[in-house]
Each structure stands twice: as structure tokens, then as C-alpha cells.
Amino acid sequence: MSKRLRDNLTSDYFGAANRLNSRQQRKKIIAYVESYDDVFFWRSILSQFETDSYYFEIMLPTRQNVLERGKKAALMSALSGKTGQWLIACVDADYDYLIQGATYTSRIILNSPFVFHTYAYAIENMQCYAPSLHEVSVAVTLNDHVIFDMQQYLEQLSKAIYPLFVWNIWYYRTDHYNQFTMTDFLRVIETGAFSIGYANQIIETVRRKVNKKCEQLRQRNPNSAESYKRLEDDLARLGVTPATTYLYIQGHHLFDKVVLPMLNKVCDKLIRQRQAEIERQSQHGTQRRNELSCYTNSVTDTTAMLKKNMGFFMSEPYQRIKADLTKYMDSLKTANVTKETDA
């Protein structure tokens, strides 16, 4: 394919290519994503909507034959009017979903029928879906013992940071977001080093910091009580609850600084527990060495397993993604039935 042609791929181009195929062949829908990590995530979702008539091919966008990454690049086709029936963009919601049209990018994400987003802040938040974390630990360690309630920890931490999170969105829905930025918010909710034995103390420390900052913001904005309450109600409509706030904070912060350190500590303890069991149950040295070697070779990397976690299929954000894609696929079928009838 020539450089000029590659740089001018549009939904109409892919539609024409599909029409050249026989009616028995499946029609291809191109899905642009932000980065390599997004490919597997969106493949796990889009594959559920493939049929005998339609299939998806996930790609990173290119411009002038140069591979591009990031949300802006994935949305470029939408912003230039190139998306459509056969070309879609799949991106992280970031804050663009929650600020509800306060910026141009937010309006594109909310209003384009060919742009699909995570509803949660990013794919990392979905990978860290709290009810699925025990299964991740089992996949890593091959040990099904429950030694720490990771779901409860994330939910309690979410409840602790929720009041300040509302303030952060409150600012981002105005032109004064630079007065309380996401960086400021993340600095307050920093948990520090994780320890299973001190989990409750970590949450209490975060709660104290949050309450202190919230009081400062209330004093800075004395007439904000009513608008703050309206925002809480609107966030509830959008799916944000105190117990699920972790799904809507910055994804890399959640993944790298909250969930991964916790999961590593839990998995390390589970591995040592399993190794101790092998030590106790082995009848002789050779058996012990063989069993330990076999187990060690079966243990997998925590980070890699968390990135491949698909337990988010039960989450509220996924249900909203599913509804959007169902509506899109139904419209695709209707449009093509109409074309065939007219023909």
C-alpha cells in the first residue's frame, strides 16, 4: 500500500474494500487503540461482538507512515471525520467521561457513535477490578488460600478518598482545574509502602489527609455546598460510588502504586506458604527438590498476569461498554440490511 493511500484510510475506504468481497465473506471493522497494551484489552472485548458477518482488526494509528501512540493519535481519525461504519476508535476515558463535555475531547468521546471508551479512567483500572484480584493471585501463585481481603481493602480505600475525588472532578468541570490538579489529588491520596499487617492504618492515614484537604477546599469555596452535592448525584448517575472510586482515579497510579504493591506482598506470602507446605509434606530430599523446582517453574509474573486480567467483565464500566457496542453492532446490521433492500 502506498504511503499516500495509507495516510488517507477512512471508514469509506474500508467500506469500499468490504463491498469488493463476496457477500459470504465477513466484513472487517478497523479499531484504532492508544498503545500496545490496549490491543489485548480491546481484543478481549471486541471478540465477543464478532459474528459470521463482521470481525474486528485492532491497530495502532499511523500518520505519514509513522506509528503513533496515545489517545490523541487514536482519536485523530474521529477529529478529522474519518471514523464511521467501518472504522472506530477505542480509548481510555480518563477524566473526559466524568467532566461531561467540559472540553472538546470530552464532547467527542461522549457524542461520537464511533468512539468507544472504558468509562473507568483507563484499562489499568479495569485490570485492577477488585473482585477479580484473588483470582489473579491464584493464577500467579497456584495457591487458593485467602490471606488478605484485597477487595475490601480497595473498597475501603475508595471510600476514604471519595470526598476529595469529588472535589477534583468539581475543579475539572470548571476553568479553574489548575487550582486543584490531578497531581495534587494523587499526592494527597498517596498510600506509601504497603504492608498487610498495617492495611487499616494506611487507610486511616489517607482518610485523615483527605479530610484535612477537603476542609481546606471548603474554606476556599464557601458557596460550593450545593454544587458539590449536585456533582455527587451526577457522578452516581455516571456509575461512580464511594466503594468504586478506585476505578476512576488515574490508572497508572492505581496499578503501580496501590494494587501492584499489594498484590506482590500477597503473592510473595502465598508463594512462601506453598513452599513451606512442600517442605513439610516431602518424604525425602529428592522429592522436596523436585517439587520445589516444579512449583517455582509454575509461578508466573505478577505484573504480566495483572495486565492480562479479564475479571472486569462483571464490572459496571464493562456493562456500559457492552451496551455501547451492542448498539453499534445493531445499527451496523440495520444499515446494511437497508442497503441490501434498496439494492
Q: Do residues 104 and 92 lie in contact, with contact meaning Cβ atoms separated by under 8 Å?
A: no
Residue 79's pLDDT is what?
53
Whole-angstrom CA distances from 83 to 68, 124, 130 are 17, 25, 34
Residue 6's pLDDT is what?
40
Residue 17 reports pLDDT greater than 80: no
169-219 pLDDT, tens per residue? Answer: 999 999 899 999 999 999 999 999 999 999 999 999 999 999 999 999 999
269-319 pLDDT, tens per residue? Answer: 999 999 998 888 888 978 888 988 998 999 999 999 999 999 999 999 999
Distance separating alpha carbons of residues 270 and 284, to the nearest angstrom: 23
- 3-state SS string over 132-199? HHHHHHHHHHCCCCCCCCHHHHHHHHHHHHHHHHHHHHHHHCCCCHHHCCHHHHHHHCCCCCCCHHHH
Q: For 294-327, give one letter per residue: b (16+ CB within 10 A) or e.
A: ebeeebeebeebbeebebbeebbbbebbeeebee
- Count the Cβ atoms, other than its own, within 10 Å of residue 168: 24
Residue 67's pLDDT is what?
54
Distance separating alpha carbons of residues 182 and 216, to the nearest angstrom: 16
Residue whose C-alpha cell is 484480584: 133
Distance separating alpha carbons of residues 123 and 110, to the nearest angstrom: 18
Average pLDDT, the chain: 88
Mean per-residue pLDDT, 62-86: 61
Dihedral of CA 25/26/27/28: which sign? negative
Q: Do residues 27 and 109 lie in contact, with contact meaning Cβ atoms separated by under 8 Å?
A: no
Residue 11's pLDDT is what?
47
Residue whose C-alpha cell is 517453574: 297
39-51 pLDDT, tens per residue? Answer: 999 999 999 999 9
Residue 14 reports pLDDT greater than 80: no
Mean per-residue pLDDT, 162-175: 97
Distance separating alpha carbons of residues 275 and 270, to the nearest angstrom: 9
| Cα 105 to the center of its chain, rounded Å | 18
Residue 73 reports pLDDT greater than 60: yes
104-124 pLDDT, tens per residue? Answer: 899 999 999 999 999 999 999
> Which of 3-17, 68-82, 112-126 has the weakest average pLDDT?
3-17
Residue 4's pLDDT is what?
37
**Per-residue confidence band for 63, with pLDDT thresholds at 50, 70 and 90:** low
141-150 pLDDT, tens per residue? Answer: 999 999 999 9
